[in-house]
Amino acid sequence: MATLILPCAGKSTRFKNTRPKWSLTHPYGEPMLIQGIKGLKLEKYDKIIPIFLKDHLDTFGLREGIIESFNKLNINYEILELDNPTNSQSETVVKAIEAFNIQGEILIKDCDDYFKSDYTEGNTVCVCSLHDVDKIIAKNKSYVEINSNNSIETIVEKSVISDLFCCGGYNFSDAQEFIKTYYKLSKLDNKGELYISHIIYQQLLEGKKFQITQVSNYEDWGTLKDWNEYLNTY
């Protein structure tokens, strides 16, 4: 069993003049965030931790609706509300781990995509092949190179080094190790955003092993153009 962490505290800069993208209504009548996790084996998780900006919940009146949506899932969950934006998705995840003293395995799932995947254990990255998708902005993704055993040899942000791109699901065997790696990297003289892929790369350098799991039915909702094109299919 593990904890499913949903970082939804971004500024949604690619969705200008809208409410936060995770809250946009899917054609099935539920928020993008909720539909985005329906392809996972949710019954395998002890708890779901969605993380929001308090300002977003207040300004757009979203709190009641998102609580109702999670109640319908009939799964244990706790909401974390942040007073201020973080500098990265990694920092957002760390705040959740620390706030709830999360131990053991975690799956970090992006709010702006959908895929079907079996339950994964250990250090695992959900990937999809460029050959299996029709439309995708390749330069926006991170990519992995693997060996014959499906173990990740390297992971790179925003550079196409193989056909396998990370599709928004990152499983770590130890939440506390995630924190340690984050703080180690955050102390370096690097002013750029600290991506989840950077955490994984550092752990690879330290000798930890990561496997891949290939997903199916991938849908990318990362930009407003992607989302509108998806809506037009209904």
Tell me, what's the pLDDT at 127?
A: 97
Q: What pLDDT is stored for residue 47 in this prediction?
A: 96
> Helix, strand or coil for residue 211?
strand
Helix axes 89-100, 175-186, angle to 10 degrees: 130
Pairing of strands 45-53, 2-8: parallel
Q: Residue 142's closest CA among 78, 211, 55, 200?
A: 200
Rounded to two decimals, the pTM is 0.94
Give the tokens for residue 144: 């992995």
Q: How many Å apart are CA 117 and CA 103, to the nearest integer?
A: 23
Query: Is residue 77 classed exposed, middle or buried when 0-12, 13-18 and 19+ CB atoms within 10 A define those classes?
Result: middle
The ranges of the chain with pLDDT < 50 are: none
pLDDT on residue 224: 87
| Partners of 108 in beta bridges | 5, 170
Q: Report the phi/psi class of residue 115: left, alpha or beta, with left for phi > 0 and alpha for psi in -120 to 50.
A: beta
Output the pLDDT for position 17: 60
Please report, as a single letter, which amino acid is at residue 130. Answer: L
Query: CA gyration radius for the chain?
Result: 17
Tokens describing residue 122: 């250990």
Q: What single-letter DSSP state applies at residue 129?
A: E
3-state secondary structure of 64: helix
